[in-house]
Amino acid sequence: MNEKYQVSVSPHVRDSITTQKIMLLVILALLPACIFGVFNFGLHALLILVITPAAAVAAEYVYEKLLHKPITTNDLSAVVTGLLLGMNMPPEIAWWIPVIGSVFAIIVIKQLYGGLGQNFMNPALGARCFLLISFSGQMTTYASTHGFIPTVWDVAATTDALSGATPLAYLKLGEHFDLGALFIGNVGGVIGETSALLLILGGLFLVWKKIIQIRIPAVYLGSFAILTLITAAIRGYSNPFVFMLEELCAGGIMLGAWFMATDYVTCPVTDKAQYIYAVLLGLLTWVFRLIGKSAEGVSYAIIFMNCLVPLIENYTKPLAFGIQKEKKKKDKEEAKA
């Protein structure tokens, strides 16, 4: 017999999918919202969406080169981090601010903790929060849309930029905003989060390709929607159901739910842990948006829950094979005693 057995350590089941393929599919899923953002806000938005991923890739290459580490820029994870950060930028922001954010995301949040798979929070969101603290004025100045459907937002179309009066600011006061404009994306805000429709389609594309599971986005959005509906009804808002839909379509909740809360590295692994994680995300976003003083809260909610993931997994980890049967037997004996 000439056959030889190949002996190797686990895992023995391998998949053809690679990190590069996963990241490429995520980029494809984000592209429609990015293109719409450029159409909606103009060429400066395109500059931000190009320069931010480029800065992220450059930061990763230089860091790994200087420290004589294997170059990992080909896995496209830095491109995804930079693209997500760029999508979270105001359209008219100075180009050097997101560049600083990209360097912070890659070096401080990702590489200093060991690189891809070792970071404890989503790098793009961590960098966004860093920029919100460091450059709060620039990060909260939003340009008016150049879109094709007249909306409430167009009252500011004669100015270059305005600060504060985003759709979420209207909703914070209990006032309604144009739901159709929110769903399509013809509103002001950051570059890549305005079109709920395109973000949902991008997320469903990733579900179809089995890159993510629908569990976390569905439970996150569902729990937030229920709490928002109850709050709107208690406060006596006109048409609470429409108000709930407006909250779901406004701000960064769609981008966060589909593309950031589902990050492989920073979300839980087990089903039970993912349900707990998603429900708490909905609860925290509701607290930040409707109970606290801030109109937004998705970034902070996801980062906070990223830090709690190890604790959630510790209390929801499944028992090892054979232990569960022994535990049930012990429980029965204790019950009889």
Averaged pLDDT, 101-122 = 91
pLDDT band, residue 317 (cuts 50/70/90): confident
For residue 228, the model assigns a pLDDT of 97
What pLDDT, on the 0 to 100 scale, is given for residue 118?
A: 85
Task: Kindly report which listed range (22-26, 81-85, 154-158) carries the lowest average pLDDT score.
Answer: 154-158
How confident is the model at residue 41, as a pLDDT?
Answer: 92
| pLDDT tens, position by position, 241-267 | 999 999 999 999 999 999 999 998 999
Mean pLDDT of 5-19: 61
- Considering the chain, what is the average pLDDT of its residues? 86
Mind listing the domains of the chain with CATH numbers?
19-147+166-316 (1.10.3430)
Residue 187: name the closest of 245, 143, 253 by CA: 143
Structure tokens at 199: 């973000």
Does the pLDDT at position 151 exceed 50?
no
| Residue 286: half-sphere exposure toward Cβ, Cα within 13 Å | 20
pLDDT digits (tens, 9 = 90+) for 219-229: 999 999 999 99
Check whether 130 has a pLDDT greater than 90.
yes
Structure tokens at 96: 């050097």
Beta-sheet strands, E only, within the chain: 141-142, 162-163
pLDDT band at 152 (very low <50, low <70, confident <90, very high): very low
Per-residue pLDDT for 158 more than 80? Answer: no
160 vs 109: which has the higher pLDDT: 109
DSSP secondary structure letter of residue 289: I
Is the pTM higher than 0.75? yes
Average pLDDT over residues 312-319: 84
pLDDT at 48 over 80: yes
Provide the sign of the torsion angle of the four alpha carbons 183, 187, 189, 194, taken in this order. positive
Is 94:161 a contact under the CB 8 Å cutoff? no
Compute the average pLDDT of residues 307-326: 77
Instruction: Give yes or no for residue 163 having a pLDDT over 50.
Output: no
Copy the structure tokens of residue 53. 């991923």
Average pLDDT over residues 106-114: 92
Cβ-proximal residues to 277 (8 Å cutoff; 6+ apart), any chain: 216, 261, 267, 268, 305, 308, 309, 312
Here the tokens at position 205 are 């594309």
pLDDT of residue 159: 35
pLDDT value for 208: 96
47-56, 172-181, 248-257: least confidently modelled range: 172-181
Mean pLDDT of 53-64: 96
Reported as half-sphere exposure (CB side, CA atoms, 13 A), residue 155 has a value of: 5
